[in-house]
Amino acid sequence: MIIAQLLLPNASEYERKSQRIDFAALSPEHEFGEIANAGIVHIYAPDDFDPGVVRDLGLPYVSNARPKNRRFRQSVQPHSVISPIKETSETFIPEAVDEVYFGNPATRQPGDRKIVGSYRRAATNNLIEQTAARIHRFRDDVDWLLFDTAPSPDDLRGVDVWADPAVDENDFDGFVAEAIAAGTAVIAARTAINTQRLEKGRTGVLVPPRDPNEWTHAILTALFKPEFRHARVTASQQTASKFRPRHRARALTQLYESIVQ
Angle at the Cα of 213 from the Cα atoms of 211 and 216, rounded to 5 degrees: 110
Residues 20 and 74 in one domain: yes
Residues 254 and 204 in one domain: no
- Give strand pairing partners of 4: 41
Position 107 pLDDT exceeds 80: no
Position 196 pLDDT exceeds 70: yes
Give the domain extent around 233.
101-243
Is residue 126 within 8 Å of 179, Cβ to Cβ? no
Residues 30 and 136 in one domain: no
Neighbours of 136 (CB within 10 A): 13
At residue 44 the predicted structure's pLDDT band, cuts being 50, 70 and 90, is very high
Positive or negative, the Cα torsion across 251, 177, 198, 190?
Answer: negative
Residues 88 and 148 in one domain: no
66 HSE (CA, 13 A, CB side) = 11
For 31-40, how does the pLDDT look when each residue is reduced to its tens digit (9 = 90+)? 999 999 999 9
Residues 182 and 76 in one domain: no
Which of residues 109 and 19 earns the better pLDDT score?
A: 19
Own/partner pairs, 195-199, CB within 8 angstroms, 24+ separation: 196/84, 196/85, 196/86, 197/95, 198/236, 199/235, 199/239
* Identity of the amino acid at 215: W
**CATH number of the domain within which 19 lies:** 3.40.50
Nearest-CA neighbor of 109 among 47, 157, 148, 180?
157
For 145-183, how does the pLDDT look when each residue is reduced to its tens digit (9 = 90+)? 999 999 999 999 999 999 999 999 999 999 999 999 999
Residues 84 and 62 in one domain: yes
Residues 81 and 129 in one domain: no
**CATH number of the domain within which 152 lies:** 3.40.50.2000
pLDDT for the residue 110: 66
For 9-23, how does the pLDDT look when each residue is reduced to its tens digit (9 = 90+)? 999 999 999 999 999
Q: How many domains does the chain have?
A: 2
Residues 39 and 91 in one domain: yes
37 Cα distance to chain centroid: 31
Helix axes 226-237, 212-224, angle to 10 degrees: 90
Residues 38 and 109 in one domain: no
* Identity of the amino acid at 161: V
Residues 64 and 127 in one domain: no
Residues 201 and 239 in one domain: yes
**Three-class SS of the chain:** CEEEEEECCCCCHHHHHHHHHHHHHHCCCCEECCHHHCCEEEEECCCCECHHHCCCCCCCEEECCCECCECCECCCCCCEEEECCCCCCCEECCCCCCHHHCCCCCCCCCCCCEEEEEECCHHHHHHHHHHHHHHHHHCCCEEEEEECCCCCHHHHHCCCEEEECCCCCCCCCCCHHHHHHHCCEEEEECCHHHHHHCHHHCCCEEECCCCHHHHHHHHHHHHHCHHHHHHHHHHHHCCHHHHCHHHHHHHHHHHHHHHHC
The pTM assigned to this predicted structure is 0.94
Round to whole Å and give the CA distance between 53 and 57. 8
Residues 166 and 109 in one domain: yes
Position 76 pLDDT exceeds 70: yes
